[in-house]
Amino acid sequence: MTALTFALIAEPPERLDLSPLTPQALAGMSEIEKIRLGTSKRASTVGDLFRVTGDGAQTIVFEGGSSRFDRVAMGMTEGTVRVVGDVGAQAGRTMRGGALTIEGNAGPHAGSGMRGGRLEILGNTGDHLGAPLAGELAGVNGGVLIVRGRAGAYAADRMRRGLIAVLNGAGDHAGCRMIAGTLVVLGGAGEMPGYLMRRGSILLDRAPQDLSPTFVESGAPDSVFAMLVDRHLIAEGIIEQPLLGNAPRKYGGDNAVLGKGEILLPR
Amino acid sequence: MPLEVNGVAIDDTFAEAFGMRATAIIITASDRKWARQAAISMTGFATSVIGCGCEAAIDIELPPEATPDGRPGCRVMVFAVSTDELQKQIVNRVGQCVLTSPGSACFAGMEGANQLKLGASLRYFGDGWQISKKLGARHFWRIPVMDGEFVCEAMTGMTKEAVGGGNLLLLAASSAKALAAAEAAIAAMERVPGAIMPFPGGVVRSGSKIGGKYKGMTASTNDAFAPTLRGVTKSELGPNINSVLEIVIDGETSDAVSAAMKAGIGAVTGLGPEKGASRISAGNYGGKLGKFHYHLKDLLP
């Protein structure tokens, strides 16, 4: 079986909702070309936008991307999806399994509310990485979300479980309102990381430029957790060198709320 | 024709062993000394299920690259007769001896569908400050303690395929020779993964038979192998035997028990009767009680 490939013919004329094109939705489906993707009255279909080749649906490749590609692989549960190009908003939102790779940049709300699987973005992402949409209670609820580039503001907002790693800097308020889970930010975080976090861990490679005064310094004892998480990040192929070392500095907070969260930095 | 290897007589008999439940954990610490200390403390008073509730010992020592946190460690195995008893023992022992040991951490040492609670029970020591962490498929609890944090994996595996009660009896002309033979056997058997010898230093001098003349005694001295009772009881000992030591083996699998017994027989016969034991035997109950039989003649070097 070869990968099911969607080669983009030209820049889409409207914003697209690509959520119908997941491995589990396309399994055994014929007439893929007739699936409607357009969100305006143009109602573009797969056949209007892509040249489709290959068979099977466990491996899906989008040759070419666009910032108009919204909801790529939304809700995917299995298989692999790869986008050779940029995507728009809500890539990999609510995914539960499988692997989604975006080789370009992603828009806002990438990985929003994901519960499992692995989402890797090689470029930058917009604001609200992994964050809930308005009215939802929790953001990322499981799985692994990796951004090799830079993330915008409010990354990991209301995260509850799982691992988010941003490897080239994050905007303001990274990890705000975290409920639990682990956020790794290399390359510096913006203002007030962990703002109003209840529990959870934010791992930074350098001191934040502006930490909320409601975080308190909590020493730097030897930490088996730091050793475990360093080894885990290396084993997952996220980083190559240990981040925290054996005894990272800890700031506890946010004491404006529950105060059981932590920001860890190498000593 | 009696069996003999390098001058050491091998009885044509078998060791009789029983099915048990077993679990394993990995204990790490900042250095080998403290990893071993925690392991030795938690496996203290764990020689026999008759009086200790479980049988436990260090299985193997692990180099830093073989442990989850990259520190030196030990794999400890614990055996009991029921899942409930094993659960109770592992939580009590880790809670009192590993949680308390400086710099320690505790991880699952066995995989499997059957699981026992580890950190999932001990987390309550954290009094609300404990932190749950899932990294990949593994679930850890971080419990704040006075030297930092005690990290403990939530669950560990359990096997129902374990075997307890494999044994060797080493018969020698003197106590010194019996001990030399036992030490040589233990040194070889400790290298077998998945098998432990739970008695002090791996050696038992008070082998037992089932029951006794007194009411309530589930086990009493093995008079047939006690040299001072030769002549007054139905003795198994010949005229030149003055000391008998036993080695009891518990294994994760039946194969681990036989591999350990084989290693032990190899070491004792290698030592020879001049320096060590002149005869090797094994304990059984006629073959009707235990499911596992290890015939010595099948385990010769």
CATH number, domain with residue B283: 3.30.70.520
> Is residue A193 in some structural domain?
yes
Residues 6 or more apart in contact with residue A24 via CB below 8 angstroms: A57, A76, A77, A78, A79
What is the span of the domain harbouring residue A184?
59-267
Give A199's contacts in chain B (Cβ within 8 Å): 131
Cβ separation B148–A163 shorter than 8 A: no
- B100 in the same domain as B41: yes
Backbone φ and ψ of A53, nearest 5°: -135, 165
Lowest mean pLDDT among A207-211, A246-250, A261-265, B193-197: A207-211
What is the structure's pLDDT at A241? 96
A231 touches chain B (CB under 8 A): yes
If we measure between CA atoms, which residue out of B91, B59, B90, B64 comes closest to residue B75? B59
pLDDT of B1 higher than 70: no
Separation between Cα atoms, residue B180 and residue B83, nearest integer Å: 37
What is the structure's pLDDT at B243? 97
Which residue is closest to A182 within chain B, CA to CA? B133
B232 touches chain A (CB under 8 A): no
- B136 in the same domain as B125: yes
Give B142's contacts in chain A (Cβ within 8 Å): 225
A–B CB contacts, 8 A cutoff, strictly below:
48
- B197 in the same domain as B127: no
If we measure between CA atoms, which residue out of A82, A111, A117, A73 comes closest to residue A96? A117
> For residue B121, how many C-alpha atoms fall within 13 Å in the half-sphere facing its CB?
18
Q: How many domains does chain A have?
A: 1
Q: Which two tokens stand for residue B73?
A: 């460690």
- B73 in the same domain as B56: yes
What is the structure's pLDDT at B220? 93
pLDDT tens digit string along B139-182? 999 999 999 999 999 999 999 999 999 999 999 999 999 999 99
Tokens 């573009």 correspond to A44
- B171 in the same domain as B85: no
Q: What is the CATH number of the domain that holds A165?
A: 2.160.20.60
CB A70 within 8 A of CB A15: yes
pLDDT tens digit string along A168-214? 999 999 999 999 999 999 999 999 999 999 999 999 999 998 999 99
Give A235's contacts in chain B (Cβ within 8 Å): 136
- B187 in the same domain as B128: no
Predicted TM-score of the model (pTM): 0.93
> Is residue A94 in some structural domain?
yes
Give B131's contacts in chain A (Cβ within 8 Å): 199, 260
Tokens 């299995």 correspond to A78
A168: distance to nearest CA of chain B, Å?
A: 22
- B167 in the same domain as B128: no
Interface of B with A in 239-298 (CB under 8 A): none
- B154 in the same domain as B39: yes
Which residue is closest to A163 within chain B, CA to CA? B135
Mutate one of A228, A231, A238 to test the B interface: name it (highest B CB count within 10 A).
A228
Cβ separation B131–A163 shorter than 8 A: no
A232 touches chain B (CB under 8 A): yes
Cβ separation B148–A236 shorter than 8 A: no
- B166 in the same domain as B139: no
What is the span of the domain harbouring residue B92?
21-159
pLDDT tens digit string along B72-124? 999 999 999 999 999 999 999 999 999 999 999 999 999 989 999 999 999 99
- B165 in the same domain as B138: no
Tokens 């309102």 correspond to A177
CB A10 within 8 A of CB A29: no
Separation between Cα atoms, residue B257 and residue A139, nearest integer Å: 51
What is the structure's pLDDT at A29? 87
Percent of chain A past pLDDT 70, that is, above it, reads: 100
pLDDT, average across residues A210-233? 96
With 0-12 / 13-18 / 19 or more C-beta atoms within 10 angstroms meaning exposed / middle / buried, residue B144 is: middle
User: DSSP per residue over B210-264, as a string?
Assistant: E--SSTT-SEEE-GGG-GGGBTTB-----TT--EEEEEEEEESSHHHHHHHHHHH
> Is residue A5 in some structural domain?
no
Question: Which of B98, B124, B159 is the C-terminal boundary of a domain?
Answer: B159
Question: Which of B159, B190, B207 is the C-terminal boundary of a domain?
Answer: B159
Q: How many domains does chain B have?
A: 2
Q: Report the alpha-carbon angle B161-B53-B187, nearest 5.
A: 65
Interface of B with A in 140-159 (CB under 8 A): 140, 142, 147-149, 151
- B209 in the same domain as B178: yes
Beta strands in chain A (DSSP E): 4-8, 16-17, 50-53, 59-63, 69-70, 80-84, 99-102, 118-121, 141-147, 161-166, 182-185, 201-204, 216-217, 249-253, 261-265
Question: Which of B139, B159, B179 is the C-terminal boundary of a domain?
Answer: B159
> For residue A262, how many C-alpha atoms fall within 13 Å in the half-sphere facing its CB?
21
A267 touches chain B (CB under 8 A): no
The complex scores an ipTM of 0.93
- B130 in the same domain as B178: no
